[in-house]
Amino acid sequence: MLRFQYTYLLLALLVLPLLAALYFWVIRWKKKTILRIGDARLVKEIIGTYSPRRFAVKFALVLLAFGFGVLALANLRKPGSVEKVSRSGIDIMIALDVSKSMLANDIKPNRLERAKQSIAKLIDKLGNDRIGIVVFAGRAYLQMPLTGDHGAARMYLASAGPDAVPTQGTVISEALKMCHAAFNPKEKKYKAVVLISDGEDHDEGAVPEAEKLAEDGIVINTVGIGSPDGATFMDELTNQPKKDANGNIVISKLNEAELKKIAESGNGNYQLFSGTDELVNKLELQLEGMDRRTITEDAQVNYLNFYPYFLAAALLLLLVEFFLPENRNPRRESAPAKALKAMLFVVLFVSGSSVSMAQDQKKLIKNGNEAYEKKDYGSAVTNYQQAISKKPGDVVAQYNLGNALYRNNNKEDAVQAYEKALASASTNAEKAKAWYNKGVALQNNNKLPECIHAYKQALKLDPTDEDARQNLQRALKQQKQQEEKKDNKENKEKKKPREDQKQKEKEKQKPQEQKEQPKPQPKISKQDAEEKLKALLQQEKNLQDKLQRVNTSPVAKPEKDW
């Protein structure tokens, strides 16, 4: 289907009626001027070579050229050819617990929001894998079937919440059954489930169901989100902490044992949520380690653009208009008129060239994005750099270049790319992302003061960015540990000269102590010695009697402490 890429530029066609009105106004003005002169023979002598018909034709050519120029800028196009494209990937079903216990805030802002943020980041890293989503509480529902459209996956993920499941509770077995049904039963591998829950399972069928999935070659990785100590959560009806049937406040605790059993039965691994980036990196490594199949599917190669034809028509019309004289005697055409024609010709030519360069630049960015998704970061860097050479101030190209350089282990150049993206960015959202990614690159390069500054700038622009907040806390903790190590080292270095000085003083005192002889003790009689020995024996006997009484006395039982 034919469509214009930049439909808003078609508004420029509204200028055509204004130009037509201007043309008729000029014709009327010329007639009035002739009448004012008065002498018809003199007027005819002055404008004898003027041709009204040629003037009208030239004006019509200019209008048509302008119209074709606008159409060229709006870029009429249609989807291009479709060809078979091969990709390597696996099928992944994400089972997300959306029960009300996931609203507990032992992980800020709550367990469910942090889980959704982690899934969104994981989706961005899955590349060619197909993704499906199952949400569950007291019942399980297929939120989205397996698809390669990651944009749709993020859209469905955003709408996941307790309201999506009318029956409350936590039934993990039903979620696993729903994931099992979503896979192709003919395949015995290339399939994985990522289960994210607090583990508060209200049935006992999850482990047997996980074993069934494992028999069909499905790997189950589980993620525990929450804390063993637990937390309360609000009841939406009463706006008070949730209470059970006996009126006791419910404390939702993470059940790691259940999730570990499920992962073990599903030949997968269990991960405890400690941070979004850390969790996503671990899951990515686990999924990348699986066998992958090659899938062949139809893919659109590119769009077929028609702007060159409109541009060529506009240039041809301007050339005809340029060489078509307004007067019967071409030599009498005024120099300003010729200059104006040349100027219009140059402007339209430059505009067409700009459109062509913009198209080439966007194509380079698109090629870079495709290479990035295939993890061919070297090719992605090359494409982004070529796009920047055509348009140095492009924020998207600079930002994507920084990401590709970072993935290619070129962190210094990545930081420079993010700085250039910051210089070109116009919105707070663009600046916040660039500051955050710059902070990540600096933190991985052990430049803590600089990365702390970057995270703070990102939070100033976007205070809701929890990833930036967590990374800032980690960076501050690392900085504090480094400072403590440095202080301990300095203290040891300061203490060492003091200890050496004390050792020298002791060595000086030793000769003096050796010179001083102990004073002879006074001698005692044999009778006095025997009496002292008897007193010591009696004291020892009394002590033994006390110990025996203590050992034979009954032990007091401790009282309950709950």
The 10s digit of each residue's pLDDT in 2-21 is 888 888 888 989 989 998 89
| Domain total of the chain | 2
Tokens 């800028």: give the residue. Answer: 73
Q: Domain for residue 143, yes or no?
A: yes
The shares of helix, strand and coil residues in the chain, as percent rounded to the nearest 5, are 60, 15, 25
| Cα angle 198-199-204, degrees, rounded to a multiple of 5 | 160
From 246, 271, 297, the end of a domain falls on: 297
Question: Are 134 and 244 members of one domain?
Answer: yes
Q: Are 54 and 324 in contact (CB under 8 A)?
A: yes
CATH code at position 218: 3.40.50.410
pLDDT at 23: 85
Backbone φ and ψ of 243, nearest 5°: -120, 150
Are 52 and 139 members of one domain? no
Residue 196 placed within a domain? yes
What is the DSSP secondary-structure string of 59-106? HHHHHHHHHHHHHHHHTEEEE--EEEEEEEE-EEEEEEE-SGGGG--S
C-alpha separations of 218 from 192, 287, 409, 513 in Å? 5, 12, 33, 81
Regarding whether 245 and 123 lie in a shared domain, the answer is yes
> Dihedrals φ, ψ of 96, to 5°?
-110, 125
Whether the ω angle into residue 497 lies within 30 degrees of 0, i.e. cis, is: no
The pLDDT of residue 97: 93
| Residues contacting residue 434 through CB under 8 Å, at least 6 positions apart | 399, 402, 418, 421, 422, 425
Q: Which domain holds residue 282?
A: 85-297
Residue 318 domain flag: yes
Q: Which residues of the chain have a pLDDT value below 70?
A: 34, 37-50, 80-87, 202, 294-303, 326-359, 492-562
Q: What is the distance between the alpha carbons of residues 138 and 166, in angstroms, rounded to a whole number?
A: 8
Mark whether 20 and 89 lie in a shared domain.
no
Asked if residue 281 and residue 146 are part of one domain, the reply reads: yes
Are 233 and 329 members of one domain? no
Matching residue, tokens 């993890």:
375
In a domain, 173, yes or no: yes
- Residue 87 in contact with residue 294, Cβ under 8 Å? yes
371 lies in some domain: no
The verdict on 73 and 108 lying in the same domain is no
Same structural domain, 156 and 275: yes
Write down the H helix ranges in 75-199.
111-125, 150-158, 172-182
- 101 and 75 inside one domain: no
Q: What is the mean pLDDT of the chain?
A: 78
At position 540, the amino acid (one-letter code) is E
Tell me, what's the pLDDT at 157? 87
Report the pLDDT value the prediction gives residue 550, as an integer from 0 to 100.
Answer: 38
Q: Which is nearest to 176 in space by CA: 118, 259, 103, 269? A: 259
User: Does residue 410 lie within any of the structural domains?
Assistant: no
Residue 138: inside a domain: yes
Residue 375 in domain: no
251 and 170 in a common domain = yes
pLDDT of residue 288: 85
Q: What is the 3-state secondary structure (H, E, C) of 390-419?
A: HCCCCHHHHHHHHHHHHHCCCHHHHHHHHH
Helices (H), 266-334: 276-288, 307-323
Mark whether 156 and 274 lie in a shared domain: yes
75 and 100 fall within a common domain = no
* Rounded-to-integer distance, Cα 147 and Cα 132, Å: 6
pTM of the model: 0.45
The string of pLDDT tens digits covering residues 53-71 is 888 888 889 899 999 989 9
User: How many Å apart are CA 401 and CA 58, to the nearest integer?
Assistant: 49
